[in-house]
């Protein structure tokens, strides 16, 4: 009796367990785990992302979103192997450009066109078209745009006043050089530069060549037409940069300074100008010695000047463009989540709380800080958005551009030789 009782108990338990497993298993099969790989280090931003993920999970039962962090350099080094393995994330952070293109060509990614064009193309229509086209190759969109950026000059208003320089009068490169001279004569270190990291100085060469070549000239050079990057505008861009270098405008020891050092020099009031990202008001403070940096009302902004007689216009902007790239085997809900991330409401929250430059139309109105608002308005009116050259031209040519920018400005390389080096490197990419 007792044995049969036990047996039946055992049987029912086993049956119950089996049932439980099968119940657990069936939603598990429908369960989708979206793995989100990012390089974000600011805790507040990740918190907001987690919150957005939770909201999405609540609205989509059975979907689970996991955030995975990799440090920037490790992320870049690991991505080639990771993408070709079974551990590939569902979607990951991208800077667009040559790397995204290379990734798209391996077949490891899934274009998001179908999702963009679903429901009469609502998603596509809601995003700034420059951002969408910036992440497109071969007629397909390879990443969901998430934020844009703008590099421009930030200056210390007090120091400008002390030296008697009026930032609003700086319209051309010659005006800028004159301002640098005036600052120097007044005993002020004109510019903060980060030569160790190299890329902070590539901003100068990039902007100058954009101004010299214009959008068409730049596209031609990339396509290898009209002598590519050894064409006159690119040599001239180097010459302008060399002129700036001759004025010795940077803080002492700038060649050994990292980007954070440069931000610190600006934030401490040791240099008057910095050519930098839209988030400078925040980063100059966090990197400064006092952790407070310059007060917001002491910081002014002016766009990179134009060059007289050259085709580039002041509304041609240079800056980052970031997105989320979807991998081939990602669960189908991934695009749905990215669409949610890119919706105006979420983008407004991101813009307000994480201070990004949103890409969804109308989201920039959520930006309260005047300096950021100014950038958002500039981006809304931009005529051309050029992504960072160390992304756009791929990591190899990008590194060459970074190298030669530092060399030109420090007098180690002739502008024509620099142009030749870039062309040599890029000619291999065109093959």
Partner 1 sequence: MSMSETTMPGRSFAPANGKTGPRATLQRRKRSLKHSKWPVLLLFLPPALMLFTVLVILPMGEAAWYSFYNWNGYGLPSQWVGWRNYQLIFRNGAFSQALINNGMIVVASILIQIPLALWLATMISSRIHGALFFRLIFFLPYVLADVAAGMIWRFVYDGDFGLVGGIAHLFGAEPPYWLADRDTAMYAILGVVIWKYFGFHMMLFIAGLQAIDKSVLEAADIDGATGLQKFRLVTLPLLGSTVRLSVFFAVVGSLQLFDMIMPLTGGGPSNSTQTMVTFLYNFGVTRMQVGFGSAVGVVLFVICVTLAFSYKRIFMRHD
Binding site for partner 1 (CB under 8 A): 73, 76-77, 80-81, 83-84, 99, 102-103, 105-108, 195-196, 198, 252-257, 261, 270, 289, 394-396, 399, 403, 406-407, 410, 412, 428, 431
**Residue among 190 and 305 whose Cβ is closer to partner 1:** 190
Cβ-proximal residues to 372 (8 Å cutoff; 6+ apart), any chain: 278, 281, 355, 357
Report the run of H or E that residue 316 belongs to, with start and end: strand 316-318
**Residue among 76 and 369 whose Cβ is closer to partner 1:** 76
**Residue among 317 and 391 whose Cβ is closer to partner 1:** 391
**Residue among 252 and 315 whose Cβ is closer to partner 1:** 252
Cβ-proximal residues to 369 (8 Å cutoff; 6+ apart), any chain: 281, 296, 355
Task: Tell me if 327 sits within 8 A of 83, measured CB to CB.
Answer: yes
CA distances from 311 to 199, 211, 212, 307, 322 (A): 25, 6, 6, 8, 27
Listed in sequence order, the DSSP H helices in 224-274 are: 232-246, 259-267
d(CA 131, CA 149): 10
As to burial, measured by CB atoms within 10 angstroms (0-12 exposed, 13-18 middle, 19+ buried), residue 431 is exposed
**Residue among 123 and 250 whose Cβ is closer to partner 1:** 250
**Residue among 33 and 416 whose Cβ is closer to partner 1:** 416
Report the run of H or E that residue 406 belongs to, with start and end: helix 394-409
Taking the complex as a whole, how short is the minimal distance between the CB of residue 291 and partner 1, in angstroms? 14
Query: To 10 degrees, what angle do helices 415-430 and 232-246 make?
Result: 140
**Residue among 64 and 184 whose Cβ is closer to partner 1:** 184
Phi first, then psi: give them for residue 245, nearest 5 degrees. Answer: -60, -35
Taking the complex as a whole, how short is the minimal distance between the CB of residue 80 and partner 1, in angstroms? 4
Taking the complex as a whole, how short is the minimal distance between the CB of residue 395 and partner 1, in angstroms? 5
Taking the complex as a whole, how short is the minimal distance between the CB of residue 83 and partner 1, in angstroms? 7
**Residue among 257 and 310 whose Cβ is closer to partner 1:** 257
**Residue among 108 and 350 whose Cβ is closer to partner 1:** 108
As to burial, measured by CB atoms within 10 angstroms (0-12 exposed, 13-18 middle, 19+ buried), residue 79 is buried
Taking the complex as a whole, how short is the minimal distance between the CB of residue 418 and partner 1, in angstroms? 13
d(CA 377, CA 361): 12
**Residue among 123 and 254 whose Cβ is closer to partner 1:** 254
Taking the complex as a whole, how short is the minimal distance between the CB of residue 401 and partner 1, in angstroms? 11
d(CA 286, CA 351): 19
Taking the complex as a whole, how short is the minimal distance between the CB of residue 253 and partner 1, in angstroms? 3
Taking the complex as a whole, how short is the minimal distance between the CB of residue 399 and partner 1, in angstroms? 5
Query: Which residue matches tokens 């180690």?
Result: 412
Taking the complex as a whole, how short is the minimal distance between the CB of residue 44 and partner 1, in angstroms? 27
Taking the complex as a whole, how short is the minimal distance between the CB of residue 34 and partner 1, in angstroms? 23
Task: Tell me if 240 sits within 8 A of 307, measured CB to CB.
Answer: yes
Task: Tell me if 278 sits within 8 A of 364, measured CB to CB.
Answer: no
């Amino acid at each position: 009796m007792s044995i049969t009782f036990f047996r039946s108990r055992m049987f029912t338990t086993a049956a119950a367990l089996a049932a439980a497993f099968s119940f657990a298993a069936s939603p598990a099969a429908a369960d989708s785990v979206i793995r989100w790989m990012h390089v974000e280090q600011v805790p507040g931003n990740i918190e907001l992302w987690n919150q957005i993920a939770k909201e999405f999970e609540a609205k989509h039962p059975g979907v689970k979103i996991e955030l995975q962090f990799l440090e920037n350099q490790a992320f870049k080094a690991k991505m080639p192997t990771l993408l070709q393995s079974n551990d590939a994330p569902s979607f990951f952070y991208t800077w667009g450009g040559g790397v995204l293109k290379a990734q798209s060509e391996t077949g490891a990614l899934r274009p998001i066109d179908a999702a963009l064009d679903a429901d009469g193309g609502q998603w596509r229509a809601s995003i700034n078209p420059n951002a969408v086209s910036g992440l497109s190759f071969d007629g397909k969109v390879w990443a969901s745009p998430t934020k844009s950026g703008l590099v421009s000059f930030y200056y210390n208003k007090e120091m400008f006043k002390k030296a008697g320089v009026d930032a609003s009068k700086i319209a051309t490169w010659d005006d800028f050089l004159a301002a640098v001279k005036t600052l120097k004569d007044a005993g002020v270190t004109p510019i903060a530069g980060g030569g160790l990291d190299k890329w902070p100085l590539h901003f100068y060469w990039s902007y100058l060549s954009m101004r010299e070549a214009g959008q068409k000239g730049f596209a031609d050079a990339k396509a290898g037409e009209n002598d590519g990057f050894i064409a006159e505008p690119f040599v001239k861009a180097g010459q302008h940069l060399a002129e700036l270098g001759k004025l010795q405008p940077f803080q002492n020891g700038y060649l050994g300074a990292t980007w954070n050092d440069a931000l610190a020099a600006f934030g401490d009031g040791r240099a008057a100008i910095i050519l930098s990202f839209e988030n400078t008001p925040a980063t100059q403070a966090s990197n400064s010695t006092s952790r407070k940096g310059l007060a917001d009302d002491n910081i002014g902004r002016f766009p990179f000047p134009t060059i007289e007689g050259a085709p580039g216009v002041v509304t041609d902007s240079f800056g980052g463009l970031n997105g989320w790239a979807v991998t081939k085997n990602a669960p189908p809900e991934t695009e749905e989540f990215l669409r949610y991330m890119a919706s105006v409401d979420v983008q407004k929250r991101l813009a307000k709380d994480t201070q990004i430059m949103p890409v969804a139309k109308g989201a920039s109105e959520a930006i309260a800080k005047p300096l950021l608002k100014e950038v958002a308005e500039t981006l809304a009116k931009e005529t051309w958005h050029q992504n960072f050259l160390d992304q756009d031209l791929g990591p190899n040519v990008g590194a060459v551009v970074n190298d030669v920018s530092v060399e030109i400005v420090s007098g180690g390389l002739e502008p024509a030789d620099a142009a030749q080096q870039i062309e040599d490197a890029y000619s291999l990419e065109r093959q």
